[in-house]
């Protein structure tokens, strides 16, 4: 992206960032933040109208955005996505693997194979396909950043997210470690971010959506986006290997009894 007269110099001027799941939530906040620092953002998702809305915000602020709807778990879609990105915006410097989603069945005894495969497809296989597609350019050009949004479910899986979700998020955590151990000397930085509960629209689809009080205590999408920005803007010699972002409060303070008098020490 150029440097229009009057615009401040950004930390990511001249870089191309591909962000999946960019239409809402963490992906949207990340794309806006990276664009604000000068990156050309390639917005990927399955709902074109949401991607177009994000692109309009980026361009309205003087940035550059490219919209490319795609299914990240389909090899042909990913191949076309990366080839088009190279043509219109240049090779990918920063890949943000954010697309994902949980299943509907929390009890593995009732979990069907279709749901298992679908959840692993978008959360794990998509990360593999995108990484495989961008790695050759990163190695050839002397480095790049691959930042994957995992989840605390990778460490503490529960029935709320479901068995395939936890397994997939643990899988991408392991995959990022593999990338660091294999391509670190090529200055390819692989980062895994593990957020706790994040207040996004997907919470509305739960059988029992969380209360407003609970949501107020959650991590916000922009909090995770700030972490992505940090990882993407550190000097090439430095990598954030793993970063856990969790709510400070449990969100249940309204029902917590007041603390009693302190005993003298």
Provide the percentage of residues in the chain whose pLDDT is more than 90: 75
Total domains, the chain? 1
Reported as a single tens digit per residue, the pLDDT across 68-77 is: 999 999 999 9
In a domain, 260, yes or no: no
In a domain, 6, yes or no: no
- Could you list the residue range(s) of the whole structural domain that residue 102 is in? 16-198+210-248
> Residue 198 — pLDDT band, cuts 50, 70, 90?
confident
In a domain, 240, yes or no: yes
Q: Which of 165, 175, 198, 214 is catalytic?
A: 165
Cβ atoms within 10 Å of 65's Cβ, excluding its own = 25
In a domain, 204, yes or no: no
In a domain, 262, yes or no: no
In a domain, 130, yes or no: yes
- Catalytic site residue 178? no
Reported as a single tens digit per residue, the pLDDT across 17-48 is: 999 999 999 999 999 999 999 999 999 999 99
pTM recorded for the entire structure: 0.89
- Per-residue confidence (pLDDT) for residue 210, from 0 to 100: 74
CATH of the domain at 172: 3.40.50.720
In a domain, 186, yes or no: yes
> Residue 252 — pLDDT band, cuts 50, 70, 90?
low
In a domain, 134, yes or no: yes
């Amino acid at each position: 992206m150029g440097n229009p007269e009057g615009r401040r110099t950004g930390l990511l001027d001249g870089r191309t960032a591909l962000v999946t799941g960019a239409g809402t939530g963490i992906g949207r906040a990340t794309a806006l933040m990276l664009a604000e620092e000068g990156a050309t953002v390639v917005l990927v998702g399955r709902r074109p109208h949401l991607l177009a809305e994000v692109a309009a915000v980026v361009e309205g602020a003087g940035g550059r955005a490219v919209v490319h709807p795609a299914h990240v778990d389909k090899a042909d879609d990913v191949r076309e996505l990366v080839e088009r990105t190279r043509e219109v915006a240049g090779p990918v410097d920063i890949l943000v693997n954010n697309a994902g989603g949980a299943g509907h069945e929390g009890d593995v005894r009732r979990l069907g194979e279709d749901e298992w495969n679908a959840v692993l497809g978008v959360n794990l296989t998509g990360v593999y396909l995108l990484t495989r597609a961008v790695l050759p350019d990163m190695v050839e050009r002397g480095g790049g950043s691959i930042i994957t949004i995992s989840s605390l479910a990778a460490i503490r899986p529960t029935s709320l997210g479901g068995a395939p979700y936890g397994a997939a998020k643990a899988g991408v955590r392991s995959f990022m470690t593999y990338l660091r151990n294999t391509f670190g000397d090529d200055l390819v930085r692989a980062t895994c971010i593990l957020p706790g509960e994040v207040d996004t629209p997907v919470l509305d689809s739960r059988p029992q959506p969380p209360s407003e009080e609970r949501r107020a205590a959650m991590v916000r999408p922009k909090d995770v986006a700030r972490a992505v920005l940090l990882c993407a803007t550190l000097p090439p010699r430095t990598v954030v290997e793993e970063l856990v972002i969790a709510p400070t409060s449990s969100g249940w303070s309204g029902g917590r009894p007041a603390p009693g008098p302190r005993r003298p020490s």
